[in-house]
């Protein structure tokens, strides 16, 4: 059952009780549980491998935990690695905007002026990276924007209340606690006309004991400071809509753990199983013939001496000792692990940089390797743009973002290709095509080159006048 904004309005008279019940229902939902599981995989505490227990079966087929066997649990870091790679590819170099202009500085150099970026605040790029990462991991992420400040709400801490007609966020419940059973629970209620705070009653715990602790106040407060009264709120105003924006990690609004989890679990189980076999299998063992007369103590002493001193005196005529080496088969496991790894990267649509960094790859091969990643980035950047438009609408700016993708390139080969075509290109295009020069640096380089040309012209002119003083 989906809880909506209209349900929120209907229960205004018993709001404290309703808020607690709504959050409890939200925390029982499948999407919330999936987000919690995604957090564990992000922390490299992969659930399946960490809960795996070897079983031993009796004659009836009943399985019981085998506590005598080795049970190494090796968790891979694929989930964190792949989500970080996707986000960093599009947002690692920050976001700029189309309406930026160039301004001449006091030293006559040119510098980009991005008024939209200035309006969004200096924390914008950092907030975008965090929001995008949560959006990929959980399927979506929320952000409360207020006068240049970005408060990131992962879906494990925020319950949206959507309008039943438009599907837009009309209100929301942000909840958290340091310890849900022993510490206070805090719930901030965000509405279009302001926000209020509820907390558990003193000495009581749980969502069933909420009470209003801070009355509703506007998002933008006007504060007056006087010597007599100190700081005093004298007014306030709100945004045209509720100042909470949502970003989705993909078109289907689903955590990237779905689909990836089975491959990650398979990789972890095979990897851990191989480590367990290596631990349990002795690298060398001996079979002693005609030793039936030895008791357990004799056998133990013989074994200890062979292990510690690597030599033993024995009657090899009547009791030969034959050594045997045992090796764990690994080729099939190694092939399976490599196949799963390739499948994970291919299905997620990112590039395995190991395939590029370990060999001399041409620029054409690099571009081909990035094809799938570029296609996924196009879809991902659409979601980023939709989120940014929500923030821009709140502050009344019309603009659109420009992404500088974070790519590996064969700079030498690309530079050679550009220089071969230099005679057909103007100077600005030539600089823009060079892989080691950013777009922001181009105009500055052109300006300085122009200054050098003017200085050289003046020097040559002055030298010419000195050689021919009567020319003028």
pLDDT, one tens digit per residue, over 170-223 is 999 999 999 988 899 999 999 999 999 999 998 888 888 899 999 999 998 766
Do residues 217 and 196 lie in contact, with contact meaning Cβ atoms separated by under 8 Å? yes
pLDDT at 281: 66
Statement: residue 60 has pLDDT above 90:
no
Q: How far apart are CA 378 and CA 186, in angstroms?
A: 38
173 and 306 co-located in one domain: no
Q: How far apart are CA 440 and CA 16, in angstroms?
A: 53
- Which of 35-49, 96-110, 288-302, 416-430 is the most confident on average? 35-49
Angstrom distances, CA of residue 456 to CA of 104, 116, 461: 22, 39, 8
226 and 316 co-located in one domain: no
pLDDT at 331: 83
Q: How far apart are CA 419 and CA 163, in angstroms?
A: 58
pLDDT at 189: 97
User: Is 359 a domain residue?
Assistant: no
If one compares 407 and 267, the residue with the highest pLDDT of the two is: 267
170 and 131 co-located in one domain: yes
84 and 175 co-located in one domain: yes
If one compares 274 and 145, the residue with the highest pLDDT of the two is: 145
- Total residue count of the chain as it appears in this document: 472
pLDDT at 73: 87
User: Is 77 a domain residue?
Assistant: yes
89 and 225 co-located in one domain: yes
User: Is 362 a domain residue?
Assistant: no
Grade residue 280 by pLDDT with cuts at 50, 70 and 90. low
If one compares 23 and 55, the residue with the highest pLDDT of the two is: 23
If you average pLDDT over residues 21-48, what whole number do you get? Answer: 95
47 and 66 co-located in one domain: yes
222 and 265 co-located in one domain: no
Q: How many domains in the chain?
A: 3
Q: How far apart are CA 173 and CA 217, in angstroms?
A: 15
Statement: residue 227 has pLDDT above 70:
no
Looking at 351, 377, 394, the residue that finishes a domain is 351
As a whole number, the mean pLDDT across the chain is 83
pLDDT at 69: 66
Looking at 226, 248, 270, the residue that finishes a domain is 248
Half-sphere exposure of 378 (CA within 13 A, CB side): 5
Instruction: Write out the residue range of the structural domain in which residue 75 sits.
Output: 5-248
Statement: residue 338 has pLDDT above 60:
yes
Grade residue 296 by pLDDT with cuts at 50, 70 and 90. confident
280 and 147 co-located in one domain: no
Which residues, including other chains, have CB under 8 Å from residue 423's CB and lie 6 or more apart? Answer: none
Statement: residue 261 has pLDDT above 80:
yes
* Percent of the chain surpassing pLDDT 90: 44
- Which of 99-103, 259-263, 286-290 is the most confident on average? 259-263
265 and 208 co-located in one domain: no
User: Is 393 a domain residue?
Assistant: no
Do residues 135 and 154 lie in contact, with contact meaning Cβ atoms separated by under 8 Å? no
Half-sphere exposure of 143 (CA within 13 A, CB side): 29
Grade residue 258 by pLDDT with cuts at 50, 70 and 90. very high
Which residues, including other chains, have CB under 8 Å from residue 127's CB and lie 6 or more apart? Answer: 143, 150, 152
If one compares 256 and 325, the residue with the highest pLDDT of the two is: 256
Q: How far apart are CA 347 and CA 267, in angstroms?
A: 15
pLDDT at 367: 74
Statement: residue 421 has pLDDT above 90:
no
102 and 241 co-located in one domain: yes
Looking at 224, 248, 272, the residue that finishes a domain is 248
300 and 449 co-located in one domain: no
439 and 346 co-located in one domain: no
User: Is 470 a domain residue?
Assistant: no
Do residues 36 and 156 lie in contact, with contact meaning Cβ atoms separated by under 8 Å? yes
Any idea which of 106-120, 154-168, 447-461 has the lowest mean pLDDT?
447-461
- In 3-state terms, what secondary structure has residue 368? helix
Do residues 77 and 42 lie in contact, with contact meaning Cβ atoms separated by under 8 Å? no
Statement: residue 358 has pLDDT above 60:
no
User: Is 384 a domain residue?
Assistant: no
If you average pLDDT over residues 37-44, what whole number do you get? Answer: 96
């Amino acid at each position: 059952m989906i809880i909506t904004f209209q349900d929120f309005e209907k229960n205004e008279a018993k709001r404290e009780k309703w808020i607690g019940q709504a959050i409890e229902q939200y925390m029982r939902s499948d999407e919330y549980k999936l987000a919690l599981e995604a957090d564990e995989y992000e922390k490299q505490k992969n659930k399946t491998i960490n809960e795996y227990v070897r079983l031993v079966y009796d004659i009836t087929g009943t399985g019981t935990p085998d506590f005598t066997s080795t049970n190494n649990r090796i968790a891979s870091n694929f989930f964190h690695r792949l989500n970080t790679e996707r986000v960093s590819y599009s947002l690692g170099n920050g976001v700029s905007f189309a309406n930026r202009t160039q301004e001449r500085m006091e030293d006559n150099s040119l510098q980009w002026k991005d008024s939209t970026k200035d309006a969004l605040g200096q924390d914008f790029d950092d907030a975008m990276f965090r929001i995008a990462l949560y959006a990929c991991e959980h399927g979506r992420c929320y952000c409360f924007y207020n006068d240049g400040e970005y408060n990131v709400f992962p879906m494990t801490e925020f319950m949206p209340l959507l309008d039943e007609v438009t599907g837009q966020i009309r209100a929301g419940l942000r909840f958290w606690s340091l310890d849900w059973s022993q510490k206070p629970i805090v719930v901030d209620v965000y509405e279009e006309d302001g926000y209020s705070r509820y907390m558990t009653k003193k000495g009581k715990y749980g969502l069933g004991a909420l009470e209003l602790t801070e009355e509703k106040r506007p998002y933008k407060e006007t504060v007056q400071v006087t010597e007599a009264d100190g700081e005093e709120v004298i007014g306030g105003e709100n945004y045209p809509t509720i100042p909470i924006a949502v970003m989705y990690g993909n078109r289907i609004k689903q955590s990237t753990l779905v689909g990836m989890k089975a491959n990650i679990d398979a990789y972890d189980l095979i990897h851990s199983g191989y480590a367990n076999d290596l631990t349990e299998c002795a690298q060398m063992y001996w079979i002693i013939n005609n030793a039936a007369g030895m008791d357990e103590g004799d056998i133990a002493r013989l074994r200890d001496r062979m292990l510690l001193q690597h030599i033993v005196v024995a009657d090899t005529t009547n009791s030969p000792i034959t050594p045997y080496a045992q090796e764990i088969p690994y080729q099939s496991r190694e092939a399976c692990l490599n196949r799963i790894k390739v499948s994970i990267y291919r299905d997620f649509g990112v590039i395995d940089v190991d395939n590029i960094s370990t060999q001399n790859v041409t620029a054409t091969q690099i571009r081909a390797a990035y094809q799938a990643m570029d296609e996924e980035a196009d879809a991902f950047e659409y979601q980023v743009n939709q989120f940014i438009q929500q923030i821009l609408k709140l502050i009344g700016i019309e603009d659109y973002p420009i992404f500088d993708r974070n790519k590996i390139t064969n700079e030498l080969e690309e530079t050679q290709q550009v220089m071969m075509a230099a005679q057909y290109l103007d100077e600005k295009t030539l600089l823009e095509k060079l892989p080691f020069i950013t777009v922001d640096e181009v105009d500055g380089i052109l300006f300085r080159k122009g200054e050098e040309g003017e200085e050289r012209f003046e020097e040559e002119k002055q030298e010419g006048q000195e050689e021919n003083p009567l020319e003028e």
